[in-house]
Amino acid sequence: MEAFHGCPGSRMMDFSQKNVQASEEPTGKIQSQLRQWPIQLHLISPLAPYYRGADVLLTADCVAYALGDYHREHLKGKSLAIACPKLDEGQDVYVEKIKAWIDEAKINTLTVMIMQVPCCMGLLNLAQEAAAKATRKVPIKYLVVGLQGEILQEEWA
């Protein structure tokens, strides 16, 4: 097999043969846990009422597609923003918005969910940069999600 030399984030992979056991399939309609709009980090106002004092979830764009139970296990009870650290432009604004969450919206906690691909670490770096600039301190946790939806890592930042 030929070795892959390109960007791991763009490497083509096919999981279509993955065997999903019938017992793993949820039954009934799955409720959305989203409780706000907008969600894209460029579009949100960090001072929107649903961020004030909230547990905020900052998710890399691909995470919700990779993770089967994203809504129930991770989004539930949290206020959301999504971003892509690889493709989004104007990421300085992201740092300012995250800082505003911490200092002005006085969020309770921040959870950052990223994919395992190396470029995704950029989103955690943005959050850490913002936290270092902020006056308040809040617990920040990050979760790294595998390409097939497994939680590979869960740590306090």
What is the H or E stretch that residue 55 is in? strand 55-60
3-class state of residue 87 by DSSP? coil
Q: Distance between the two ends of the chain, CA-based, in angstroms?
A: 38
Could you say which of 69, 92, 96, 154 contacts other proteins (CB under 8 A)? 154
Could you say which of 4, 77, 92, 133 contacts other proteins (CB under 8 A)? 77
Q: Report the nearest approach of other proteins to the CB of residue 146 (Å).
A: 10
Q: Report the nearest approach of other proteins to the CB of residue 112 (Å).
A: 12
**Under 8 Å between Cβ of 133 and 95:** yes
Q: CA 136 to CA 37: how far, in whole Å?
A: 26
What is the H or E stretch that residue 123 is in? helix 121-133
Instruction: Say how many residues touch other proteins, by CB under 8 A.
Output: 18
Chain positions 87 to 146 lying near other proteins, rule: CB under 8 A, are: 107-109, 111, 137-139, 141, 143
Contacts with other proteins by CB under 8 A lie at 55, 77, 107-109, 111, 137-139, 141, 143, 150-156
